[in-house]
Structures are given as structure tokens and as C-alpha cells.
Amino acid sequence: MVSGGTQGVGAAVARTAAACGAEGVVVTGRRPEVAESLIDELDLLGTQPLFVRADVSDVSQALESVASAVEEFGRVDCVVNAAGLVDRGSLLDTTPELFDRHVAINLRGPFFIMQAAVKDMLRRDAPGTIVNVITLTQHAGQPFLAPYAAAKGGLATLTRNAAHAHRWDRIRINGLNIGWTATEGEDRIQRSYHGAGDGWLDEAAARLPAGRLADPAQIADMVVYLLSDASGIVTGSVIDWDQNVIGALD
């Protein structure tokens, strides 16, 4: 099950999971029209796809999304919290409404999705895996990402806390701090908040060590690896996945 799975990193995870043999893939999101083509893709990849309309900022919908997955498949084995809000705000100009929305989408929603999924795993006395898509920004981030950094920092700590709490239940929980990634959502952000034009992606890529932004498909490979038995016993890890090195200065 992938929250925020209809586009960007979430959709890439859904595709990769299907290609790697997942029996069923549940994607959640707010817009059914965006999900249609992805559901068709997943079907062609040989998995049983399910779209659940859900806004993770609404706790009842977050919980119901897990319940829908369990109702359809009888269980949920793997969960990816990929839904996120990256709207800009600094310490000085963030409104209480924007702050609350960041917390609702980037922290509270994942919290209760994890809660519902872990309860299902415990009910069945079954192992499971969870990966939270976090962000390099949780270490500190730019001044215009203050509420985002605060909420995602909470998610990083929650990841470790939950992993510790449920390690004896054979439920592994890890996180991935992704950096600047080329997604549909990032294109919207750059145009809406930074006045970017059509060539912004090439210009941004030229300023980075690898000469490109992160690729959602490669992030998906890492997420599915962490979900799978191939990642062994690792739990409670929050991995920096970027071309910049935290703490290093030129």
C-alpha cells in the first residue's frame, strides 16, 4: 500500500513493487482521475491494483485507506508513506493554517496509517515492513521550508520510535531522506513559488554534482529493497539518499 501513490515517487514505488511481483498494490490519493492511467499500468504489470480515494490529512480517511486494503486483500504486508506537502513557509510568514496542514499531511497522516497497518500485522501475528519517504530537509533545510522541516523531522523520529517499539513483532520500519527530485509536484512548486520557466529543470540539474535531480524510479528501487526480505534485518534506519553530504561544507 502506497499513500500518495498516484504520481511522483509514490507512483514509481507502486510500479516497481508490481514489477517485482507484488500480488496486489494499493495506491491512495485525492484525485481518481490522476490514478486511472496508473491503475491500468499496474494491471498490465500483472498485479491486482486497487485505488482508494483518501486525503491523509483527514485521520478517518487515513485509517479507512488501510481498512480498504485489508478488506480487499485480507492483509497488508508492506506500507509506504509517500504522500507529502512541500508548500513554502518560513518561520516568520508561516500561518497557523499552513503549519497545521504540514503536520496533518507530513506527520499525523503517516502516524495513523502506520498505526492501522501495525494493528493488522499484530492481529495476524505476521511480519511486515514500512518505509516512510521523508526528506533531507528534516536535518534543517532552507529557511523557506520551516513547517516542512518541522513535520518531517517528527516523521524521522517517529520512524525510529515505531521501529524500536515493534522490532520483537518482526515489523521492520525504515525511512528514506530523499533530496531534490524531478517529479510533477516539484515542477508545480518551482513554477508556483519560485517563478520557474520551462527550462528550470535543466538549469537546476547543471548546478548539481550528478548533473541531474534524483530520479523517482531509482528512489523506488531503494524503497522496494527496504520493503523486501533482501534488506535483511535492518530496521529503524533513516537513510540519507542524495548527492549532497549532510554536515559537509566547501
Look at residues 41, 49, 4 and name the one whose alpha carbon lies nearest to residue 22.
49
Comparing 87-96, 175-184, 229-238, which segment has the lowest mean pLDDT? 175-184
Domains of the chain: 2-179+214-241 (3.40.50.720)
Is 193 tagged catalytic? Answer: no
Q: Coil, strand or helix: which one is 198?
A: coil
Q: Where are the beta strands (DSSP E) in 30-170?
A: 48-53, 78-81, 128-133
Buried b (16+ CB within 10 A) or exposed e, 21-42: ebebbbbbbbeeeebeebbebb
Whole-model pTM: value is 0.94
Stretch 23-35: mean pLDDT, rounded?
95
The model's pLDDT over 39-74, given as tens digits with 9 standing for 90+, comes to 999 999 999 999 999 999 999 999 999 999 999 999
> Using an 8 Å Cβ cutoff, are 141 and 149 in contact?
yes
Residue 183, pLDDT above cutoff 90: no
Residues 242, 84: Cα–Cα separation, whole Å: 18
- The single residue of 51, 111, 112, 148 carrying the catalytic annotation is 148
The model's pLDDT over 198-210, given as tens digits with 9 standing for 90+, comes to 999 999 889 999 9
